[in-house]
Amino acid sequence: MNWTLIAFKNILRRPIRSILTLAGIAIAVAMLFNLLEFQRGYERGLRGELADLGAHIMIVPRGCPYEAATIVLHGGKWPRYMEQEWYDVVRGTEGIEATTAIIMDAIIRDGGRENLIYMGIDDDYPTLRQSWEYAAGDWFGGEDTVILGSSVARSMDAGVGDTITIVDEPRVMPTQVTVSGILQRTNSQDDGLIFLPQRALQRIFGLEDKLVVILVKVEDVTKTEEIATSLRQASAESDAGMNIFPLSELLNTLTSLLSSTRVFVLAIVAVAFVIGGVGVLTTILMAVYERTREIGMMKAMGAGRADIFRLIWLETLITSAGGGLLGIGLALLSGRAVVALLRVVLPHTPAEFALGMTGSTFAICIGVSVLLGMVAGTWPAWRAARISPIAAIRGGS
């Protein structure tokens, strides 16, 4: 027999009311948990995606560089192009270890239900994407060959040596190509792409001498900004108007954009916590009123103000910590659904992006729940501690 047992039994006395109170806190905690894990998972996923690119600097045509970057990361159709000759300028810049130029296009059919993304790459691409492994076949065997990402190969039911037709008349006339390789699953955007030799894509899609992105790997990472500045100068001198930015800058910009959004979401979470806290306060206060005689009797038996305060506070803490644990469980159960929803709502989500559970997030959520309980429980506990035993036993408060 101890304090905790009494507190537990008091909470269980009104199960529906206690469950509703727990639910109020659980919802707020689940929101906080998902928010914290979202930020962490998003950053980790984005960092992984950018690392997979194997580059330090990205060069894209005029327009919003971040929109261009997300197109590059996920693949898609970008309506702006840069001239092939620019590639030679970039390659000639000092301090560059490797570069690769990419052209992309997409064929969308059935009102968006079928979305085939084609990426034209050059021989330098594998130098940067060293993580590539083949499930079958190998690199291009000629101009009219393709490499399929694992998901595309599965959806097309295509194997090495099979012939597929690229067609989107009248823009793209039927062209038959042969599958030369199928990639291992990478859990990245590559799984959903069809790779062609750069010149073949330019020819088939009528985009001769056009590029969408140039990726640059520098010899010395500490000189990335210096090289980016040099490329910007070259771009300005030739009035090419390229967007040149280090990928670290892209990461910072995307995550800071995310952080600013997080402030608004945090405000909503704070409101949810206030509502949850008021729920706890109301529930415990009602319980104190209902148990006035019991509390009076406890005082008659020798319980001091501090004892009564401690008991009521303990009930509040158990309720709020229970709500916190329930909220974390709720967040873990709903993690996949939340990620699926975010993928629909957000313009860019990393391919490998999941809501997990880290120790710090767990600690923050439980800590906030307990703090909420401490704050919400103070007034009811204080009220209970001040109950007069005589009035209470007599039937008043």
Partner 1 sequence: MNTNGHVVQATNLSKTYSTGGREVEALRGIDLTIAPGEFTVLLGPSGAGKTTALNVVGGLDRPTGGELTVAGEVIAGNGHRAREGQLDALRRKHIGFVFAQFHLLPTLTAVENVLVPMIWEDASDRGRAEGLLRRVGLDHRLTHRPDELSGGEMQRVALARALVNRPALLLADEPTANLDTHTRDEIFELLRELSDEGLAILFATHDHELAERGDTVLRLSDGVIADD
Residues of this chain that interact with partner 1 (CB under 8 A) are: 1-3, 5-6, 9-10, 12-13, 293-294, 296-305, 307, 389-390, 393
Residue 59 three-state SS: strand
d(CA 167, CA 205): 9
Which DSSP string corresponds to 109-157? EGGGTEEEEEEEE-TTHHHH-TT--EEEE-S--STTEEEE-HHHHHHHT
Q: Quick one: 13 or 343, whose CB is closer to partner 1?
A: 13
Distances (CA, A) of 351 to 9, 108, 193, 397: 47, 20, 13, 61
Task: Compute the least distance from the CB of residue 286 to partner 1, in Å.
Answer: 16
Q: Quick one: 8 or 134, whose CB is closer to partner 1?
A: 8
d(CA 359, CA 365): 10
Q: Which of 66, 74, 42, 50 is nearest to 259 (CA)?
A: 42
Q: Quick one: 263 or 301, whose CB is closer to partner 1?
A: 301
Q: Quick one: 362 or 382, whose CB is closer to partner 1?
A: 382
Task: Compute the least distance from the CB of residue 74 to partner 1, in Å.
Answer: 57
Task: Compute the least distance from the CB of residue 25 to partner 1, in Å.
Answer: 22
Task: Compute the least distance from the CB of residue 388 to partner 1, in Å.
Answer: 9
Task: Compute the least distance from the CB of residue 270 to partner 1, in Å.
Answer: 35
Task: Compute the least distance from the CB of residue 387 to partner 1, in Å.
Answer: 12
Q: Quick one: 2 or 260, whose CB is closer to partner 1?
A: 2
Q: How far is CA 294 from the centre of its chain?
A: 51
Q: Are 76 and 204 in contact (CB under 8 A)?
A: no
Structure tokens at 189: 């955007």
Task: Compute the least distance from the CB of residue 304 to partner 1, in Å.
Answer: 4
Q: Quick one: 159 or 304, whose CB is closer to partner 1?
A: 304
Q: Quick one: 218 or 287, whose CB is closer to partner 1?
A: 287
Secondary structure (H, E, C), 209-268: CEECEEEEEECCHHHHHHHHHHHHHHHHHCCCCCEEEEHHHHHHHHHHHHHHHHHHHHHH
